[in-house]
């Protein structure tokens, strides 16, 4: 009977460590996606702002007698800015940035909490059962509210 409890106890600890490895992988994937989408979001917002600045300056210059090139530049900058802004809004890059960052932080918190509790001495088999239940619940909540990672 004692051997079964020891094997069961070790099996639970092994399962928790495997889950922690999975949490660590998910954490890094979300962090990677967060960095990727943050760069894209920063670039597109910068591009839109630059195009809007060119557009406004060009439109102001159209009130003075200048060449048709200025009008063409103003229209082009405005059109590209509008299209870029629409694409940025429809793909919700900023939402993905926020979602991946939140998931990364939640997985980091879960990993840190479970690792610390696992190192605590004197955890009974029931404590490990409760820890497994809590891990599954927390992971379920995180997965329900996070962007998909492949």
**Residue 5 pLDDT:** 58
Report yes or no: 143 and 19 within 8 Å, Cβ to Cβ: no
Phi, psi dihedrals of residue 20, rounded to the nearest 5°: -60, -40
**Residue 30 pLDDT:** 96
Token representation of residue 93:
């890059």
Cα 134 to Cα 19, 47, 127, distances in angstroms: 12, 45, 10
**Residue 1 pLDDT:** 43
Token representation of residue 34:
């967060």
pTM for this model (two decimals): 0.80
Report yes or no: 30 and 107 within 8 Å, Cβ to Cβ: yes
**Residue 62 pLDDT:** 67
Q: Which residues of 80-99 are buried (b: 16+ CB within 10 A; e: fewer)?
A: ebeebbeebeeeebbebbbb
Q: How far apart are CA 30 and CA 148, in angstroms?
A: 9
Per-residue pLDDT of the chain (150 residues; tens, 9 = 90+): 454 557 688 888 899 999 999 999 999 999 999 999 999 999 999 999 988 888 887 777 767 776 777 777 778 888 888 898 898 888 889 999 999 999 999 999 999 999 999 887 778 888 899 999 999 999 999 999 888 887
**Residue 120 pLDDT:** 79
- The DSSP letter of residue 147 is -
């Amino acid at each position: 009977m004692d051997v079964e409890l020891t094997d069961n106890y070790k099996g639970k600890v092994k399962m928790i460590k495997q889950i922690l490895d999975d949490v660590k992988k998910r954490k890094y994937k979300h962090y990677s996606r967060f960095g990727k989408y943050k760069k894209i979001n920063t670039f597109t917002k910068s591009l839109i702002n630059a195009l809007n600045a060119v557009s406004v300056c060009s439109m102001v210059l159209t009130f003075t007698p200048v060449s048709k090139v200025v009008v063409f530049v103003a229209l082009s900058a405005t059109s590209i800015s509008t299209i870029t802004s629409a694409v940025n809004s429809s793909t919700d890059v900023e939402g993905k940035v926020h979602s991946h960052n939140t998931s990364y932080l939640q997985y980091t918190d879960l990993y840190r909490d479970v690792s610390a509790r696992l190192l605590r001495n004197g955890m009974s088999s029931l404590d490990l059962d409760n820890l497994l239940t809590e891990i599954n619940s927390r992971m379920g909540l995180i997965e329900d509210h996070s962007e998909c990672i492949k």
